[in-house]
């Protein structure tokens, strides 16, 4: 990773970010005293950044799990997919659960420049909708197994930089997919391939599998206050 990229990465993910109290202290005072305090703090921060960069010397793909009851898990996953596509990388997206819905990300990505003669994107959709709408476990299980069989080859393709498994946690929790088979495919993928798994209720074995495990917590949600889900915001 080039030094500039490493510093950007550290800024966004470090536990040593400046707090509000730090910033308040930073902006109080006058003239030379304020400038000196700022310089000292930035020098300390530079030393922390440089040390972290020196430690992070392994170059490989990662597994990211985005779980929890808050909004933004799929949005984050699709945002990362767009970021990869923007850098010219190949991406595979497997969309469980929401396949029957019209959704903006699928509309854009499946009709976009990424699907041309030199396609950067492979897109797979389970297509049965939410399990509480189908109310047919056998049908859902068959659909999950079918889309997994269709997409499983992406884990053997070193050209694919990112695989997004959207709402995979439901398929595992309901036992629609063989957990061991899924984990084995992820563990045996090409070294530099990245995987993002989204969905509520990620179990401990996914936390163990993950390099980065984030839980999105719901503090407030407009839907709970009676606000309708909006096209372009929720789907």
Say which residue the tokens 């629609």 belong to.
Answer: 176
pLDDT > 70? residue 206: yes
Per residue in 135-146, pLDDT (tens digit) is 688 888 999 999
Under the banding of pLDDT at 50, 70 and 90, the label for residue 148 is very high
pLDDT digits (tens, 9 = 90+) for 154-189: 999 999 999 999 999 999 999 999 999 999 999 999
Say if residue 151's pLDDT is above 80: yes
Instruction: Name beta bridge partners: 196.
Output: 64, 164
pLDDT for the residue 37: 86
Residue indicated by tokens 């929401």: 98
* Buried/exposed 61-89: b ≥16 CB within 10 Å, e otherwise: bebbbbbbeeeebbebbbebbbebbeeeb
Average per-residue pLDDT in the chain?
Answer: 83
**Topology of the domain covering 63-225:** Rossmann fold (3.40.50)
For the entire predicted model, the pTM comes to: 0.77
Q: 92: part of which helix (H) or strand (E)?
A: strand 90-95
Q: Which residue has the higher pLDDT, 85 or 127?
A: 85
Domain residue extents for the chain: 3-55, 63-225
Which residues does residue 95 pair with via DSSP β-bridges, in sequence order? 125, 166
Per-residue pLDDT at 98 exceeds 60: yes
pLDDT digits (tens, 9 = 90+) for 102-125: 777 888 887 777 766 668 999 999
- In percent, the amount of the chain with pLDDT more than 90 equals 51
């Amino acid at each position: 990773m080039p030094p500039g990229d490493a510093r950007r990465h550290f800024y966004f993910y470090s536990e040593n970010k400046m707090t509000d109290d730090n910033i308040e202290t930073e902006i109080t005072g006058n003239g030379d005293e304020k400038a000196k305090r700022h310089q000292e703090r930035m020098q300390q921060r530079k030393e922390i950044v440089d040390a972290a960069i020196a430690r992070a010397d392994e170059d490989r793909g990662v597994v990211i799990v985005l779980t929890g009851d808050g909004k933004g898990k799929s949005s984050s996953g699709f945002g990362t997919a767009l970021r990869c596509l923007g850098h010219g990388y190949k991406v595979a997206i497997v969309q469980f659960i929401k396949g029957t819905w019209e959704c903006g990300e699928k509309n854009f990505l499946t009709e976009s420049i990424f699907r041309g003669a030199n396609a950067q994107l492979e897109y797979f959709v389970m297509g049965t909708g939410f399990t509480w709408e189908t109310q047919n476990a056998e049908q859902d299980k068959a659909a999950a197994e079918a889309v997994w069989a269709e997409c499983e080859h992406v884990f053997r393709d070193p050209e694919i930089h990112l695989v997004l498994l959207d709402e995979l946690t439901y398929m595992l929790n309901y036992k629609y997919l063989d957990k061991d088979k899924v984990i084995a495919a992820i563990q045996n993928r090409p070294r530099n391939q990245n995987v993002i798994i989204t969905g509520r209720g990620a179990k401990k074995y996914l936390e163990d599998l993950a390099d980065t495990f984030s839980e999105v917590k719901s503090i407030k949600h407009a839907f709970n206050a009676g606000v309708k889900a909006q096209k372009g915001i929720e789907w």
